Structure 1
Amino acid sequence: MKKVGIIGGSGFIGSYITKQFLKNGFEVKVSTTDITREDKYEHLMALNNTENLYISELNVENKDALKDFVKDCDLVIHSGTPFQLNVENPQKELFDPTIKGTENFLEVMNETPGIEKVVFIASVAAWNTDFPMPAGEKKDTDTFDENDKRFFSEQSHPYAQAKYIAHQVVEKFIENNPQPHFEITTVSPVMVMGKSLSKREDSTSTGVQFLIKNKIAPDAFFQTLYDNDVAFTVVDVADVANATFKAATTPGLHGKDYLLTSETYKVSDIHEMLNHHEPKNNPQIVYKNDLAKNDLGAQFRPVKETLNNY
């Protein structure tokens, strides 16, 4: 039985990834930042095959703890970088754990001989830091796929900048280590929505859906979304987990970075669907998912189905 280590495996996306690996007969080791906070991982105990599930405390910035966490793993999924929109200290809350954490992680992976595959859960922000706005000179309706040039702006949200720079760290590692003993594959989901497996109320992804459902604007960013009826590209959390599992268990994908994406709707239509009403407009295809479909056999359900599950 192979063992997978899932950093952030009790989070919004990570929980579905944990579920997928347990379902497919893996031993699964999940990290949590605080083992005393059972509310962060108790929902995992309701999954099938939990006799193969292990919970371990981990601070990804602690290299010794990270070495101990991955030492007996065949596969490692890194889903442990913070998704934070309300930030007081970007350096401490986002840049250090995301960028330095990625550097430490890759160094440890390189020193751990038994690892066969590493999958990074990145973000569409690694392709376009202005998401959900168009990248650079593109228009709202222009499509975007893995053949497009990545776009970075210092005016973008610190979270987006951190994810972009972290991906640069991965690319630099691949360039400097042309024949590592393990494969690295990255998946970059757009706005991930759907039903949470946990009952936690501090999930940013669940919180974003709650705010849009109720048209609450806690800050200028959300007010701008409503005022301009910004278009969002959405992907289902379960589809992200399925694609991640495929990326982890399919050989020959070293250095690939897959956009995980479904349809694009204006935020007003997302509000309607979160309230189980019909959208007023038809969906658009902006971010494309052809590469993930072709290489991973990934499937992406319609956004209406995702939001009706919330």
Structure 2
Amino acid sequence: MNGGGKVVCVTGASGYIASWIVKLLLLRGYTVRATVRNPRDTAKTEHLLALEGAKERLKLFKADLLEENSFEQAIKGCDAVFHTASPVKFIVTDPQTELIDPAVKGTINVLNTCKKISSVKRVILTSSTAAVLVRQPPLGPNDVVDETFFSDPSFCMETKLWYPLSKTLAENVAWEFSKENGMDMVVINPGFIIGPLLQPTLNFSVGMIVDIINGRNPFKSIYYRFVDVRDVALAHVKALETPSASGRYIIDGPSMTIYDIKETIRKLFPDLCIADTIEEVEMKEFIYKVCLKKVKSLGVEFTPPESSLRDTIISVKEKCLL
């Protein structure tokens, strides 16, 4: 029990990654204060309250990213804060309201509260490889991506890549804030995440696997990378438990073609009907290498892609989402 007696806060706790972080923290003996938009919305909270250890050591708090001080009650008395709350959308009508404000202002609100509360020793921020990979000239097969790579906000704007823009701006303001205020902050930058769902609804990245099964090609691309949600959640917890952890940690899976993904699913689930229609591939192919040395140094082992795909599909079938 690493977390015996320690109190931590997880923002946006009903989300896909956050739910797994909460599960792991409870299993490791932490007391968890989880923020959600509406604690009375059982569809969003039931799966959290059902976790092992939740009865004894989980408390839900209402908080809103855009409301100043709304995280204060949840964070008061915490040793550490995991800030995962941020919208994930790739199709938006009003990027500022739907993505950028909640991502940027939400991050500032949470960090401001952490600064005020002296018990908070470390903040772990969930960013994304979206804040790493979008740059000019685009990444090529000889590029080895590591933690020094940042997406270029002006290029994100030009190309209307609003989600990468929101993640990049939020991460940039977080680094600025933490440097100005001498805050101990660690950032995790995961790629697209798959693996079993704890929440009852389909999230964006697992929805991509359902799309592929249904014959769609979500990003009209040949190459995809997926990392397992359990590995990502563990990276967050290890970022808290490893005193020397600092800076950013990229966590991403191996590059697979959409054909490999379908072939693997076919092998695992011979009875599953996998549609053949694949839309035209439009994207200029995006192949690059990723250096994972840093995240492995936290003691994170990687789940093989086959296992992640299998567990994802078992989970979406159980939840009748496929």
Short-chain TM bin: 0.7 to 0.9
Is the 1:263–1:285 Cα contact (8 Å) retained in structure 2?
no
RMSD: 2.1
Q: What whole-Å deviation, never above 9, does each CA across 1:138-158 have from its counterpart, x for those lacking one?
A: 214633122445444221520
Q: Would you identify which runs of 4 or more consecutive aligned residues in structure 1 move more than 6 Å?
A: none
7, 10, 14: which is aligned to 1:3? 7
Is the 1:262–1:288 Cα contact (8 Å) retained in structure 2?
no
Q: Does structure 1 residue 249 correspond to structure 2 residue 225?
A: no
Q: What whole-Å deviation, never above 9, does each CA across 1:124-182 have from its counterpart, x for those lacking one?
A: 0111236xxxx6342146331224454442215201110011111012113323x33xx
Mapping of 1:83-98 within 5 angstroms? 83-98=88-103
Mapping of 1:258-273 within 5 angstroms? 258-273=249-264
Look up the match of 1:175: 179
Look up the match of 1:237: 229
Q: Alpha-carbon deviation of 1:301? A: 1.6
Q: What whole-Å deviation, never above 9, does each CA across 1:60-99 have from its counterpart, x for those lacking one?
A: 2212221122112111100101111221211111000001
Q: Does structure 1 residue 121 correspond to structure 2 residue 126?
A: yes
Question: Normalising by structure 2, what TM-score?
Answer: 0.83
Q: Alpha-carbon deviation of 1:45? A: 2.5
* SS of equivalent residue, structure 2 residue 227: strand
* SS of equivalent residue, structure 1 residue 36: coil
Supply the distance in 2 between the matched residues of 1:93 and 1:176 (Cα, whole angstroms): 28
Equivalent residues, number:
287
Supply the distance in 2 between the matched residues of 1:169 and 1:138 (Cα, whole angstroms): 24
33, 49, 56: which is aligned to 2:61? 56
Q: Alpha-carbon deviation of 1:46? A: 2.5
Is the 1:124–1:188 Cα contact (8 Å) retained in structure 2?
yes
Q: Does structure 1 residue 286 correspond to structure 2 residue 277?
A: no
Look up the match of 1:309: 311
| 285-294 or 244-253, which deviates more | 285-294
Look up the match of 1:281: none
AA in 2 matched with 1:208: M
Supply the distance in 2 between the matched residues of 1:241 and 1:41 (Cα, whole angstroms): 18
Look up the match of 2:165: 161
**Unpaired segments ≥5 residues, structure 2:** 270-286, 313-322
* SS of equivalent residue, structure 1 residue 165: helix
**Unpaired segments ≥5 residues, structure 1:** 279-283
> Given the superposition, is the C-alpha separation of residues 166 and 124 from structure 1 closer, same or farther in structure 2, using an over 3 Å criterion?
same
> Given the superposition, is the C-alpha separation of residues 163 and 275 from structure 1 closer, same or farther in structure 2, using an over 3 Å criterion?
farther
Mapping of 1:214-225 within 5 angstroms? 214-216=214-216, 222=218, 225=219
* Percentage identity across paired residues of the two chains: 28
* SS of equivalent residue, structure 2 residue 86: coil
Q: Alpha-carbon deviation of 1:233? A: 1.8
Q: Alpha-carbon deviation of 1:268? A: 2.7
Mapping of 1:126-165 within 5 angstroms? 126-129=131-134, 136-140=137-141, 142-148=143-149, 150-152=151-153, 153=155, 154=157, 155-165=159-169
Is the 2:8–2:81 Cα contact (8 Å) retained in structure 1?
yes
* SS of equivalent residue, structure 1 residue 164: helix
Supply the distance in 2 between the matched residues of 1:136 and 1:297 (Cα, whole angstroms): 33
